[in-house]
């Protein structure tokens, strides 16, 4: 006699029923947060171990990544507008996107493509070049403090306080006993900013030496890009290893919970733009800025508007 299951079905019928039963849908994987994926881990940092041509977390090839970048732009713009409105309403929070990287790593290009997504109202951009005579008469953080954007703003630092532990260190512009103290002073400064409602997104645009060479030659071959070329960039290539060590030290020694570093591979411009855009988007989503409530009688004012 054929065996039957607990429901009185034959083994053959039970097997057929099991095969006909729709498989349970697999649980979709949680989305990878770029703020987790690109964050520099605590401990020793060796930039030579980072691949500048990699595309961690990208949604696909160039076309797919650029398409997603375009779809997230409205969301970034909406959140930035909310942050600006929050500041108008008395909020203290603001965001500073700090960009560091070797020459030609794309700091200007990142500003153009990523910040170009938002309304310029509420955006403050500051480029830190060689200090002026007036700036040299002050502490190295003086000019950076002046550039901190007001409440509700999105601030962009094209280079930053880190120049004073990078080029200063590489070219011995001040004694080692001086620049060695600056890491702790930068950490204290960034803690002050965090306590005052400033959310720092510190990005190192990681460019390979070969890609930099290609970009410099491209500038020389295109007359329309000659204005971007600086003969000093070739001179600085001789110090590539020294800069890598200086950047590694900065990423290692100034990587706090309140102001972490992110390394964005920058050889592929399309990935660089998307990745920085994602870091900005995730930060704004985490802040979840809100439009402030009206501080007037909305119904009464509407009646007045209708009668005006």
Tell me the per-residue pLDDT of 62-106, one tens digit each, with 9 for 90 and over: 999 999 999 999 999 999 999 999 999 999 999 999 999 999 999
Per-residue model confidence (pLDDT) at position 25:
42
Q: How far apart are CA 191 and CA 27, in angstroms?
A: 40
Q: How far apart are CA 2 and CA 18, in angstroms?
A: 18
What confidence tier does 21 reach under pLDDT thresholds 50, 70, 90? very low
What confidence tier does 11 reach under pLDDT thresholds 50, 70, 90? low
**Alpha helix stretches (DSSP H) within 156-230:** 167-170, 176-195, 209-221
* Residues 167/173/178/182 CA torsion (nearest 10 deg): -20
Q: How far apart are CA 278 and CA 203, in angstroms?
A: 12
**Averaged pLDDT score across all residues of the chain:** 91
Per-residue model confidence (pLDDT) at position 24:
45
pTM higher than 0.85, yes or no?
A: yes
Encode pLDDT of 110-164 as tens digits.
999 998 888 888 999 999 999 999 999 999 999 999 999 999 999 999 999 999 9
Note whether 77 and 118 are within 8 A (CB).
yes
Q: Which residue has the higher pLDDT, 4 or 37?
A: 37
What confidence tier does 29 reach under pLDDT thresholds 50, 70, 90? very low
What confidence tier does 27 reach under pLDDT thresholds 50, 70, 90? very low
Encode pLDDT of 253-286 as tens digits.
999 999 999 999 999 999 999 999 999 999 999 9
Q: How far apart are CA 15 and CA 13, in angstroms?
A: 5
Which residue has tokens 């900005």? 280
């Amino acid at each position: 006699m054929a065996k039957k299951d607990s429901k009185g079905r034959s083994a053959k019928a039970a097997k057929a029923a099991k095969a006909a039963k729709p498989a349970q849908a697999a649980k979709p994987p949680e989305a990878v947060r770029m703020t987790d994926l690109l964050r520099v881990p605590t401990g020793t940092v060796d930039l030579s171990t980072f691949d500048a041509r990699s595309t961690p977390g990208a949604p696909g090839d160039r076309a797919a990544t650029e398409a997603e970048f375009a779809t997230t732009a409205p969301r970034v713009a909406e959140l930035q507008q909310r942050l600006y409105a929050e500041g108008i309403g008395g909020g203290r929070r603001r965001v500073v996107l700090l960009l560091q990287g070797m020459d030609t790593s794309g700091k200007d290009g990142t500003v153009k493509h990523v910040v170009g997504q938002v309304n310029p109202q509420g955006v403050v951009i500051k480029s830190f070049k060689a200090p002026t005579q007036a700036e040299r008469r002050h502490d190295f953080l003086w000019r950076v403090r002046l550039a901190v954007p007001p409440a509700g703003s999105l601030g962009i630092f094209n280079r930053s306080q880190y120049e004073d532990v990078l080029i200063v260190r590489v070219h011995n512009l001040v004694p080692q006993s001086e620049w060695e103290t600056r890491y702790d002073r930068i950490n204290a400064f960034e803690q002050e900013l965090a306590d005052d409602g400033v959310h720092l997104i510190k990005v190192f645009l990681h460019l390979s030496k070969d890609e930099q060479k290609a970009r410099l030659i491209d500038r020389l071959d295109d007359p329309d890009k000659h204005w971007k070329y600086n003969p000093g960039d070739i001179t600085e290539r001789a110090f590539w290893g020294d800069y890598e060590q200086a950047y590694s030290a900065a990423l290692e020694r100034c990587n706090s919970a309140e102001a972490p570093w992110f390394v964005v591979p920058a050889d592929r411009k399309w990935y660089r733009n998307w990745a920085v855009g994602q870091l900005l988007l995730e930060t704004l989503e985490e802040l979840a800025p809100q439009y402030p409530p009206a501080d007037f009688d909305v119904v009464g004012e509407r009646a007045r508007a209708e009668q005006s």
